[in-house]
Amino acid sequence: MKNVLVITASIFGQDGQSSQLVERTLEQLKKTHGEIRITHRDLAEEPVPHLDASRFGAFLTGTDDRNDQQQRIVDYSDSLIEEVKQADVLVMGVPMYNFGVPSVLKAYFDHIARAGITFRYTENGPVGLLEDRPVYILAARGGIYAGTPNDSQTPFLRLFLGFLGLNDVHFVYAEGLNMGDDQKESALNEASRDIETLTA
């Protein structure tokens, strides 16, 4: 049985287009792999706290020197990382807000990027410590950005995930969703076909 970690970040919850594309991806994964075990982390419903000095300080403090609050912060981060480690497949719904990823997703990333745990620095640069596995990113956008200089999401997500060792990254784009009903329908249909091809 495949363990699938689902990460969604739409402010519209399950009604968001990125969340609906995630559901289609899960349906296709079930057809491909049979029964799957899903862990769902909805970052809009249960946001990860944004990184601040106290949280960052907790990550830098040695085990024997942490106070209770720092230990709780580290335990929380550890639980997020463990979810990733236990997953065979990651499925991420990523809407575009003001040319970037949702801030709650960035906060989540700040809690799973931990020196010595998910990456380490070497003389030749950083090395990701997570075992590679497929990552499917369902990107929903009101305009059309893929392949243009205005697409800040794709390079950032590839860079960050690769920094942790996750390089088997696949994007499905649904773009122009706010550019009329015909464009929206066409984009969602194309995304559905891409999902079927990618996960087959």
**pLDDT for residue 127:** 96
Q: What is the pLDDT of residue 1?
A: 80
Query: What does the H/E/C string look like for 35-93?
Result: CEEEEEEECCCCCCCCCCHHHHHHHHCCHHHCCHHHHHHHHHHHHHHHHHHHCCEEEEE
User: What does pTM read for this prediction?
Assistant: 0.94
Q: Which amino acid is at 79?
A: S
Residue 106 has which token pair? 């960035």
- CATH class, 2-199 region: alpha beta
Half-sphere exposure of 135 toward its Cβ, with a 13 Å CA cutoff?
23
pLDDT at 64: 93
Question: Residue 63: what pLDDT?
Answer: 92
| Residuewise pLDDT in 10s, the chain (200 residues) | 899 999 999 999 999 999 999 999 999 999 988 899 999 999 999 999 999 999 999 999 999 999 999 999 999 999 999 999 999 999 999 999 999 999 999 999 999 999 999 999 999 999 999 999 999 999 999 999 999 999 999 999 999 999 999 999 999 999 999 999 999 999 999 999 999 988 76
pLDDT of residue 198: 80
- Residue 85 CA, chain-centre distance (Å), reads 13
Residue identified by tokens 């689902």 is: 6
Conformational region of residue 82, where left means phi above 0, alpha means psi within -120 to 50, and beta covers everything else? alpha
Structure confidence by residue, pLDDT tens digits, 94-117: 999 999 999 999 999 999 999 999
Local structure of 120: helix, strand or coil:
strand
Predicted confidence at residue 199, as pLDDT, reads 74
